[in-house]
């Protein structure tokens, strides 16, 4: 859907009508959108061009309806899957005219972590939209906590994993993100696991994968920023530094030992 004309879509009108019949409900959902640019100078690095459309980007996105009448807020997935959603520009030019059965090229993205505004009846509810693959990055998700998020909200399409360990591992990554940020996570998965994880990383409600269903749970909101969210991957960075120092030490000792042997 084109973001600048999305309100004219019959699907969006049906969503707004449903929200109107259920006051107090906010909706966060996944959607594929298209955003346009007025000129080449304003277009992003991933923008495509067509004579009839101009410059545009396709986004793997989240759309947030705070109420039946509130404007739609968008989040554009930023950590894109290499080779699937993100392709080097030079390679994109080479395969642009090949029919691969779907979208060819890189999706657009955004630099900032968007935290959606709370609905009027729940001012403390500030959801962080996380799309699929983004949940494997701890430092990335912690940026939402910095920006005021009180709840992690993950939506994902796990069908491309098929029946492999992939979508099961993705569920467990969610537990790590909850522990790191001390935020509950509400997880909605198309063909994957739908449910809830608490701030301790405990899965307290989970629906089976590959079954059409819905889940309802109570989440706890948190405004505090954890040590990890504030300072990032200190252990990981320290381990990298120690690894380099260890390699240098081994090389120096080896050279020193060789020199002593030669002198002997």
Q: Does one domain contain both 222 and 253?
A: no
| Spatial distance between the Cα atoms of 72 and 125, rounded to a whole number of angstroms | 17
What CATH number does residue 202 fall under? Answer: 3.60.110.10
For residue 145, give its domain range.
112-232
Using the predicted structure, report yes or no on whether residue 47 has a pLDDT greater than 80: yes
User: Minimal CA–CA distance to 15: which of 56, 72, 55, 62?
Assistant: 72
Q: Does one domain contain both 153 and 168?
A: yes
**Which residues lie closer than 8 Å to 158 by C-beta, 6 or more apart?**
132, 166, 167, 170, 189, 190, 191, 192, 193, 209
Placement of tokens 């520009």 in the chain: 89
Query: What digits encode the pLDDT tens for the residues 192-218?
Result: 899 999 999 999 999 998 888 889 999
Q: Work out the end-to-end distance of the chain between its first and last CA atoms, rounded to an integer number of angstroms.
A: 77
Tell me the pTM.
Answer: 0.84
pLDDT of residue 90: 67
Q: Specify the number of domains making up the chain.
A: 3
When pLDDT is averaged across residues 75-93 and rounded to a whole number, the result is 81
Strands 127-131 and 48-50, how do they pair? unpaired
Q: Does one domain contain both 18 and 104?
A: yes
pLDDT band at 179; cut points 50, 70, 90 = very high
């Amino acid at each position: 859907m084109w973001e600048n004309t999305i309100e004219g879509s019959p699907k969006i009108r049906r969503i707004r009508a449903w929200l109107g019949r259920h006051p107090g409900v906010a909706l966060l959902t996944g959607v594929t959108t298209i955003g346009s640019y007025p000129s080449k100078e304003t277009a992003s690095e991933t923008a495509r061009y067509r004579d009839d459309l101009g410059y545009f980007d396709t986004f793997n996105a989240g759309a947030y309806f705070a109420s039946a009448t509130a404007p739609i807020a968008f989040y554009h997935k930023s950590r894109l899957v290499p080779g699937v959603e993100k392709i080097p520009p030079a390679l994109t030019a080479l395969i642009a005219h090949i029919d691969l059965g779907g979208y060819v090229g890189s999706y657009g993205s955004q630099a900032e972590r968007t935290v959606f505004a709370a609905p009027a009846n729940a001012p403390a509810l500030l959801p962080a939209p996380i799309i699929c693959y983004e949940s494997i990055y701890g430092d990335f998700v912690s940026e939402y906590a910095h920006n005021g998020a009180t709840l992690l909200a993950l939506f994902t399409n796990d069908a491309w994993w098929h029946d492999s360990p992939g979508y099961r591992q993705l569920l467990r990554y969610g537990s790590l993100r909850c522990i790191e940020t001390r935020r509950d996570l509400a997880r909605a998965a198309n063909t994957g696991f739908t449910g809830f994880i608490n701030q301790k990383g405990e899965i307290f409600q989970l629906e089976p994968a590959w079954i059409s269903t819905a889940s309802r749970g109570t989440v706890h909101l948190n405004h505090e920023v954890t040590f990890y969210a504030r300072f990032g991957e200190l252990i990981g960075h320290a381990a990298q530094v120690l690894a380099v120092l260890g390699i240098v030490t081994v090389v120096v000792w080896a050279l020193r030992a060789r020199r002593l042997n030669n002198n002997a």
